[in-house]
Amino acid sequence: MPDVTKLASPLEVGGVRIRNRVFLAPMSGITDEPFRQRAHAHGAGLVVSEMVASGELAKGRAGSGLRIRHSGLPVHMVQLAGREAVHMAEGARIAAGEGADIIDINMGCPAKKVTGGYAGSALMRDLDHALSLIEAVVGAVDVPVTVKMRLGWDESALNAPMLARRAEQAGVRMVTVHGRTRCQFYQGTADWRAIARVKQAVSIPVVANGDVGSPAEAALILDQSGADAVMIGRAHYGAPWTAGSIVAAALAEPVSGMPDSPQALTDYVIAHYEDMLTLYGAESGLRQARKHLGWYLDRHAVTSDDWRKAILTSFEPGRVIALLRDMFSSAPEAPNLRSVA
Protein backbone atom coordinates (compact mmCIF):
# COMPACT_ATOMS: atom_id res chain seq x y z
CA MET A 1 0.00 0.00 0.00
CA PRO A 2 1.42 3.44 -0.91
CA ASP A 3 2.56 5.67 1.93
CA VAL A 4 -0.18 8.03 3.10
CA THR A 5 2.00 10.02 5.51
CA LYS A 6 3.21 12.38 2.75
CA LEU A 7 -0.27 13.87 2.68
CA ALA A 8 0.20 15.42 6.12
CA SER A 9 3.33 17.38 5.17
CA PRO A 10 3.18 21.08 4.22
CA LEU A 11 3.50 22.40 0.66
CA GLU A 12 4.63 25.80 -0.58
CA VAL A 13 2.87 27.47 -3.51
CA GLY A 14 4.54 30.64 -4.72
CA GLY A 15 5.67 31.54 -1.21
CA VAL A 16 2.32 30.67 0.40
CA ARG A 17 2.59 27.85 2.93
CA ILE A 18 -0.15 25.22 2.73
CA ARG A 19 -0.43 23.20 5.94
CA ASN A 20 -0.97 19.78 4.28
CA ARG A 21 -1.55 18.18 0.90
CA VAL A 22 -5.24 17.27 0.98
CA PHE A 23 -7.37 20.02 -0.58
CA LEU A 24 -11.06 20.80 -0.92
CA ALA A 25 -11.91 21.28 -4.59
CA PRO A 26 -13.76 24.39 -5.76
CA MET A 27 -17.36 23.39 -6.50
CA SER A 28 -19.88 25.83 -7.89
CA GLY A 29 -22.81 26.38 -5.56
CA ILE A 30 -21.20 24.21 -2.86
CA THR A 31 -17.89 25.50 -1.51
CA ASP A 32 -19.27 28.74 -0.13
CA GLU A 33 -18.02 30.35 3.07
CA PRO A 34 -19.84 28.08 5.57
CA PHE A 35 -18.69 24.95 3.75
CA ARG A 36 -15.08 26.10 3.42
CA GLN A 37 -14.92 27.05 7.09
CA ARG A 38 -16.07 23.59 8.08
CA ALA A 39 -13.68 21.77 5.76
CA HIS A 40 -10.79 23.87 7.07
CA ALA A 41 -11.79 23.28 10.69
CA HIS A 42 -11.75 19.52 10.07
CA GLY A 43 -8.20 19.71 8.70
CA ALA A 44 -8.29 20.29 4.92
CA GLY A 45 -4.96 21.74 3.87
CA LEU A 46 -6.42 24.19 1.37
CA VAL A 47 -9.98 25.24 0.56
CA VAL A 48 -11.00 27.05 -2.61
CA SER A 49 -13.94 29.35 -3.28
CA GLU A 50 -16.65 28.24 -5.62
CA MET A 51 -16.05 29.34 -9.20
CA VAL A 52 -16.63 33.06 -9.77
CA ALA A 53 -17.42 34.40 -13.25
CA SER A 54 -14.81 37.07 -13.89
CA GLY A 55 -17.15 39.10 -16.10
CA GLU A 56 -19.82 39.27 -13.40
CA LEU A 57 -17.22 40.16 -10.80
CA ALA A 58 -15.70 42.87 -12.97
CA LYS A 59 -19.15 44.34 -13.62
CA GLY A 60 -20.13 44.23 -9.95
CA ARG A 61 -23.00 41.80 -10.44
CA ALA A 62 -24.98 40.93 -7.31
CA GLY A 63 -23.71 37.88 -5.47
CA SER A 64 -20.26 37.72 -7.07
CA GLY A 65 -18.66 39.76 -4.31
CA LEU A 66 -20.03 37.37 -1.70
CA ARG A 67 -18.21 34.49 -3.35
CA ILE A 68 -14.80 36.13 -3.01
CA ARG A 69 -15.29 37.56 0.47
CA HIS A 70 -12.46 36.70 2.86
CA SER A 71 -13.69 34.16 5.39
CA GLY A 72 -10.89 34.69 7.88
CA LEU A 73 -9.02 31.49 7.05
CA PRO A 74 -5.20 31.47 6.92
CA VAL A 75 -5.11 31.05 3.12
CA HIS A 76 -7.84 32.63 0.99
CA MET A 77 -7.95 31.09 -2.49
CA VAL A 78 -10.37 32.34 -5.15
CA GLN A 79 -11.17 30.57 -8.41
CA LEU A 80 -12.03 32.67 -11.47
CA ALA A 81 -13.64 31.57 -14.72
CA GLY A 82 -14.02 33.43 -17.99
CA ARG A 83 -12.84 33.89 -21.54
CA GLU A 84 -12.05 37.60 -21.78
CA ALA A 85 -8.56 38.63 -20.74
CA VAL A 86 -9.67 42.08 -19.61
CA HIS A 87 -12.34 40.61 -17.32
CA MET A 88 -10.00 37.93 -15.97
CA ALA A 89 -7.38 40.54 -15.15
CA GLU A 90 -9.90 42.85 -13.49
CA GLY A 91 -11.50 39.97 -11.59
CA ALA A 92 -8.08 38.96 -10.32
CA ARG A 93 -7.34 42.49 -9.15
CA ILE A 94 -10.68 42.65 -7.32
CA ALA A 95 -10.08 39.27 -5.68
CA ALA A 96 -6.58 40.24 -4.61
CA GLY A 97 -7.97 43.49 -3.25
CA GLU A 98 -10.37 41.45 -1.13
CA GLY A 99 -7.45 39.55 0.36
CA ALA A 100 -7.01 36.56 -1.95
CA ASP A 101 -3.67 34.87 -1.27
CA ILE A 102 -3.90 32.63 -4.34
CA ILE A 103 -5.96 33.00 -7.52
CA ASP A 104 -6.93 29.90 -9.47
CA ILE A 105 -8.01 29.92 -13.12
CA ASN A 106 -10.73 27.46 -14.08
CA MET A 107 -9.86 25.56 -17.23
CA GLY A 108 -11.55 22.34 -16.20
CA CYS A 109 -15.27 22.89 -15.62
CA PRO A 110 -17.20 20.60 -18.01
CA ALA A 111 -20.65 22.19 -17.53
CA LYS A 112 -22.33 23.14 -20.80
CA LYS A 113 -23.31 26.58 -19.52
CA VAL A 114 -19.60 27.26 -18.94
CA THR A 115 -18.06 25.58 -21.98
CA GLY A 116 -20.83 26.99 -24.15
CA GLY A 117 -19.39 30.40 -23.39
CA TYR A 118 -15.92 29.14 -24.33
CA ALA A 119 -14.73 29.13 -20.72
CA GLY A 120 -13.80 26.31 -18.34
CA SER A 121 -12.51 23.20 -20.10
CA ALA A 122 -13.42 24.68 -23.51
CA LEU A 123 -10.22 26.72 -23.16
CA MET A 124 -8.24 23.50 -23.61
CA ARG A 125 -9.37 23.55 -27.26
CA ASP A 126 -7.41 26.77 -27.87
CA LEU A 127 -4.19 26.86 -25.86
CA ASP A 128 -3.08 30.17 -27.32
CA HIS A 129 -6.23 31.82 -26.02
CA ALA A 130 -5.91 29.98 -22.71
CA LEU A 131 -2.39 31.36 -22.34
CA SER A 132 -3.58 34.88 -23.05
CA LEU A 133 -5.89 34.61 -20.04
CA ILE A 134 -3.14 33.18 -17.86
CA GLU A 135 -0.76 35.96 -18.85
CA ALA A 136 -3.43 38.58 -18.15
CA VAL A 137 -4.05 37.27 -14.64
CA VAL A 138 -0.38 36.76 -13.79
CA GLY A 139 0.36 40.27 -14.99
CA ALA A 140 -2.50 41.79 -13.01
CA VAL A 141 -1.65 40.58 -9.49
CA ASP A 142 1.30 39.92 -7.22
CA VAL A 143 -0.17 36.82 -5.57
CA PRO A 144 0.48 33.30 -6.88
CA VAL A 145 -1.70 32.16 -9.79
CA THR A 146 -2.69 28.51 -10.29
CA VAL A 147 -4.66 26.64 -12.96
CA LYS A 148 -7.14 23.77 -12.70
CA MET A 149 -7.61 21.69 -15.85
CA ARG A 150 -8.71 18.32 -17.20
CA LEU A 151 -6.68 15.85 -19.25
CA GLY A 152 -8.00 17.50 -22.40
CA TRP A 153 -11.21 18.12 -24.30
CA ASP A 154 -11.53 14.50 -25.43
CA GLU A 155 -9.41 11.39 -25.94
CA SER A 156 -8.05 12.74 -29.22
CA ALA A 157 -6.65 15.87 -27.56
CA LEU A 158 -4.96 14.98 -24.27
CA ASN A 159 -3.04 18.25 -24.12
CA ALA A 160 -2.87 18.83 -20.35
CA PRO A 161 0.94 18.37 -20.29
CA MET A 162 1.37 21.03 -22.97
CA LEU A 163 -1.01 23.45 -21.25
CA ALA A 164 0.71 22.89 -17.90
CA ARG A 165 4.15 23.46 -19.41
CA ARG A 166 3.10 26.67 -21.10
CA ALA A 167 1.29 27.81 -17.96
CA GLU A 168 4.44 27.31 -15.91
CA GLN A 169 6.43 29.33 -18.43
CA ALA A 170 3.83 32.11 -18.10
CA GLY A 171 4.28 32.25 -14.31
CA VAL A 172 1.70 29.81 -12.92
CA ARG A 173 2.85 28.34 -9.60
CA MET A 174 0.75 25.15 -9.36
CA VAL A 175 -1.57 23.11 -11.59
CA THR A 176 -4.43 20.79 -10.65
CA VAL A 177 -5.48 18.05 -13.05
CA HIS A 178 -8.77 16.14 -12.96
CA GLY A 179 -8.11 12.72 -14.46
CA ARG A 180 -10.90 12.87 -17.04
CA THR A 181 -11.48 14.65 -20.32
CA ARG A 182 -14.22 17.24 -20.65
CA CYS A 183 -16.28 14.91 -22.81
CA GLN A 184 -16.26 12.29 -20.06
CA PHE A 185 -17.86 14.74 -17.63
CA TYR A 186 -17.91 12.49 -14.51
CA GLN A 187 -18.52 9.19 -16.26
CA GLY A 188 -16.22 6.22 -16.07
CA THR A 189 -13.22 6.38 -13.79
CA ALA A 190 -10.53 9.01 -13.48
CA ASP A 191 -7.23 8.08 -15.12
CA TRP A 192 -4.74 8.75 -12.34
CA ARG A 193 -1.76 7.46 -14.31
CA ALA A 194 -2.42 9.99 -17.09
CA ILE A 195 -1.81 12.79 -14.58
CA ALA A 196 1.78 11.56 -14.35
CA ARG A 197 2.46 12.98 -17.82
CA VAL A 198 1.61 16.43 -16.49
CA LYS A 199 3.89 15.94 -13.50
CA GLN A 200 6.72 14.98 -15.84
CA ALA A 201 6.17 18.09 -17.96
CA VAL A 202 6.59 20.70 -15.21
CA SER A 203 8.66 21.52 -12.14
CA ILE A 204 5.89 23.28 -10.19
CA PRO A 205 3.58 21.36 -7.82
CA VAL A 206 0.91 19.21 -9.45
CA VAL A 207 -2.34 18.35 -7.67
CA ALA A 208 -4.24 15.19 -8.65
CA ASN A 209 -8.03 15.23 -8.67
CA GLY A 210 -10.80 12.75 -9.42
CA ASP A 211 -12.56 9.85 -7.65
CA VAL A 212 -10.83 10.21 -4.30
CA GLY A 213 -12.74 9.78 -1.04
CA SER A 214 -10.60 7.68 1.29
CA PRO A 215 -7.03 7.57 2.66
CA ALA A 216 -6.25 4.53 0.51
CA GLU A 217 -7.47 6.26 -2.66
CA ALA A 218 -5.58 9.43 -1.78
CA ALA A 219 -2.34 7.51 -1.31
CA LEU A 220 -2.90 5.54 -4.51
CA ILE A 221 -3.60 8.58 -6.68
CA LEU A 222 -0.35 10.15 -5.47
CA ASP A 223 1.53 6.92 -6.15
CA GLN A 224 0.14 6.48 -9.67
CA SER A 225 0.33 10.13 -10.70
CA GLY A 226 3.48 11.20 -8.90
CA ALA A 227 1.57 14.33 -7.88
CA ASP A 228 2.46 16.52 -4.94
CA ALA A 229 -1.02 16.82 -3.45
CA VAL A 230 -4.58 15.59 -3.85
CA MET A 231 -7.79 17.58 -4.35
CA ILE A 232 -11.15 16.10 -3.38
CA GLY A 233 -14.54 17.30 -4.56
CA ARG A 234 -17.74 15.23 -4.68
CA ALA A 235 -16.79 12.95 -1.77
CA HIS A 236 -17.47 15.98 0.43
CA TYR A 237 -21.20 15.92 -0.33
CA GLY A 238 -22.83 15.51 3.07
CA ALA A 239 -19.40 15.08 4.66
CA PRO A 240 -17.40 18.34 4.90
CA TRP A 241 -14.84 16.45 7.01
CA THR A 242 -13.70 14.16 4.15
CA ALA A 243 -10.37 15.89 3.42
CA GLY A 244 -9.72 16.28 7.13
CA SER A 245 -10.38 12.58 7.73
CA ILE A 246 -7.71 11.68 5.18
CA VAL A 247 -5.17 13.98 6.83
CA ALA A 248 -6.12 12.56 10.23
CA ALA A 249 -5.55 9.03 8.93
CA ALA A 250 -2.10 10.07 7.72
CA LEU A 251 -1.32 11.35 11.21
CA ALA A 252 -3.08 8.47 12.99
CA GLU A 253 -5.16 11.06 14.83
CA PRO A 254 -8.91 11.65 15.26
CA VAL A 255 -10.65 14.02 12.86
CA SER A 256 -10.94 17.50 14.33
CA GLY A 257 -14.53 18.47 15.05
CA MET A 258 -16.12 15.49 13.34
CA PRO A 259 -19.55 14.68 14.81
CA ASP A 260 -19.37 11.35 16.61
CA SER A 261 -22.95 10.74 17.76
CA PRO A 262 -26.49 11.26 16.44
CA GLN A 263 -26.92 14.30 18.68
CA ALA A 264 -23.60 15.80 17.55
CA LEU A 265 -24.55 15.20 13.92
CA THR A 266 -27.94 16.81 14.46
CA ASP A 267 -26.33 19.91 15.95
CA TYR A 268 -23.74 19.97 13.16
CA VAL A 269 -26.28 19.85 10.33
CA ILE A 270 -28.50 22.46 11.94
CA ALA A 271 -25.54 24.79 12.56
CA HIS A 272 -24.55 24.48 8.89
CA TYR A 273 -28.14 25.22 7.87
CA GLU A 274 -28.35 28.28 10.11
CA ASP A 275 -25.00 29.60 8.86
CA MET A 276 -26.30 29.43 5.29
CA LEU A 277 -29.45 31.31 6.25
CA THR A 278 -27.29 33.98 7.85
CA LEU A 279 -25.02 34.27 4.81
CA TYR A 280 -27.69 34.37 2.11
CA GLY A 281 -30.75 35.56 3.98
CA ALA A 282 -33.74 33.37 4.74
CA GLU A 283 -35.29 33.25 1.26
CA SER A 284 -32.17 32.48 -0.73
CA GLY A 285 -30.60 30.48 2.10
CA LEU A 286 -33.52 28.07 2.16
CA ARG A 287 -32.95 27.23 -1.50
CA GLN A 288 -29.16 27.14 -1.28
CA ALA A 289 -29.18 24.79 1.73
CA ARG A 290 -31.50 22.16 0.30
CA LYS A 291 -28.84 20.29 -1.65
CA HIS A 292 -26.66 20.08 1.45
CA LEU A 293 -29.56 18.86 3.59
CA GLY A 294 -30.35 16.26 0.94
CA TRP A 295 -26.78 14.96 1.02
CA TYR A 296 -26.75 14.82 4.81
CA LEU A 297 -30.00 12.87 4.75
CA ASP A 298 -28.71 10.50 2.05
CA ARG A 299 -25.54 9.70 3.95
CA HIS A 300 -26.58 9.71 7.56
CA ALA A 301 -30.33 9.33 8.06
CA VAL A 302 -33.01 6.74 7.45
CA THR A 303 -36.05 8.65 6.25
CA SER A 304 -39.20 8.16 4.24
CA ASP A 305 -39.89 10.01 1.02
CA ASP A 306 -42.59 12.02 2.81
CA TRP A 307 -40.23 13.19 5.55
CA ARG A 308 -37.52 13.98 3.05
CA LYS A 309 -39.93 15.98 0.91
CA ALA A 310 -41.15 17.89 3.95
CA ILE A 311 -37.59 18.89 4.90
CA LEU A 312 -36.51 19.85 1.40
CA THR A 313 -39.61 21.80 0.40
CA SER A 314 -40.50 23.68 3.57
CA PHE A 315 -40.21 27.48 3.54
CA GLU A 316 -40.20 27.67 7.34
CA PRO A 317 -36.71 27.40 8.91
CA GLY A 318 -38.14 26.49 12.29
CA ARG A 319 -40.05 23.55 10.84
CA VAL A 320 -36.99 22.38 8.89
CA ILE A 321 -34.89 22.42 12.05
CA ALA A 322 -37.55 20.52 14.02
CA LEU A 323 -37.77 17.88 11.29
CA LEU A 324 -33.98 17.53 11.16
CA ARG A 325 -33.87 16.95 14.90
CA ASP A 326 -36.46 14.21 14.55
CA MET A 327 -34.65 12.61 11.64
CA PHE A 328 -31.10 12.51 13.00
CA SER A 329 -31.72 12.28 16.73
CA SER A 330 -34.11 9.33 16.47
CA ALA A 331 -31.44 7.13 14.90
CA PRO A 332 -29.97 4.59 17.36
CA GLU A 333 -26.49 5.27 15.99
CA ALA A 334 -24.73 7.16 13.24
CA PRO A 335 -23.20 4.33 11.17
CA ASN A 336 -21.93 6.46 8.29
CA LEU A 337 -20.00 9.06 10.25
CA ARG A 338 -16.71 7.24 9.97
CA SER A 339 -17.22 5.80 6.53
CA VAL A 340 -14.54 8.02 4.97
CA ALA A 341 -11.92 7.66 7.71
Active site residue 183: no
Report the alpha-carbon distance of residue 265 to residue 153 in Å, rounded.
41
User: Count of alpha carbons within 13 Å of 320, Cβ hemisphere only?
Assistant: 25
**Using CA atoms, how far apart are residues 28 and 49, in angstroms rounded to an integer?**
8
d(CA 175, CA 48): 14
Give the span between the Cα atoms of 232 and 243, in whole angstroms.
Answer: 7
The SS3 call for residue 17 is strand
Calculate the alpha carbon distances from 259 to 91, 167, 268 in Å: 37, 41, 7
User: Pairing mode, if any, of strands 229-232 and 174-178?
Assistant: unpaired
Nearest residue to 176 (alpha-carbon basis) of 188, 164, 192 = 164
CB atoms within 10 A of CB 65: 15
Alpha-helical runs (H) found in 141-214: 160-169, 192-201
Instruction: Encode 99-130: b = buried (16+ Cβ within 10 Å), e = exposed.
Output: ebbbbbbbbbbbeeebbeeebbbbbbbebeeb
CA dihedral 44, 29, 280, 260 (to 10 degrees): -40
H helices present in 105-186, as ranges: 112-115, 127-140, 160-169
Catalytic residue among 92, 94, 109, 190: 109
Alpha helices in the chain (DSSP H): 33-42, 54-58, 64-68, 85-97, 112-115, 127-140, 160-169, 192-201, 215-225, 242-251, 262-280, 282-300, 305-313, 317-329
Catalytic amino acids? 109
